[in-house]
Amino acid sequence: MSKKIEENLPEAIRSILDDTKGQDIKVIDVMELSDVMDTLVIATGTSNRHVKSLANNVIEDLKESGRRPLGVEGMEAGEWVLVDYGDVVLHVMQQQTRDFYELEKLWSTEPASRKQKPE
């Protein structure tokens, strides 16, 4: 596997999405908020077909570098596709789904269980 891709997987994903006309691409560091991942990449596709195509392009391009996802969900419907690379999780959604779930807002809030308790 390419050391460059391994070290900067979120940026590699962003680049692939950008090249395939992904919209409103966000890379969010959630290392301080999550024990299961370090980075979220969120992008919007214009239709079911576009969402599936964006996710599939990321999967195929990264496979060529030796990086395979741990899991993929939602590819059948194409409304919201999640591609799990372990430390990096990609969400590709249609706009109405992205607006409804507001993942950026959800992941910008520190959970109450993680807040420092006063001594």
Structure tokens at 88: 């990096």
Q: What average pLDDT does this structure show over 38-49?
A: 93
Structure tokens at 29: 């560091």
pLDDT at 75 over 50: yes
In the chain, the amino acid numbered 41 is V
Q: Residue 85 and residue 92: Cα distance in Å, rounded?
A: 14
**3 pLDDT tier (thresholds 50, 70, 90):** very low
pLDDT at 81 over 60: yes
pLDDT at 115 over 60: no
pLDDT at 77 over 50: yes
Q: Residue 93 and residue 75: Cα distance in Å, rounded?
A: 11
pTM here is 0.82
Residue 11 is predicted with a pLDDT of 94
Q: Where are the domains of the chain?
A: 3-106
The domain defined by 3-106 folds into: Beta Polymerase; domain 2 (3.30.460)
- CB-count burial class (<10 Å; 0-12, 13-18, 19+) for 85: buried
Residue 36 is predicted with a pLDDT of 72
Q: Which comes out higher in pLDDT, residue 41 or 106?
A: 41
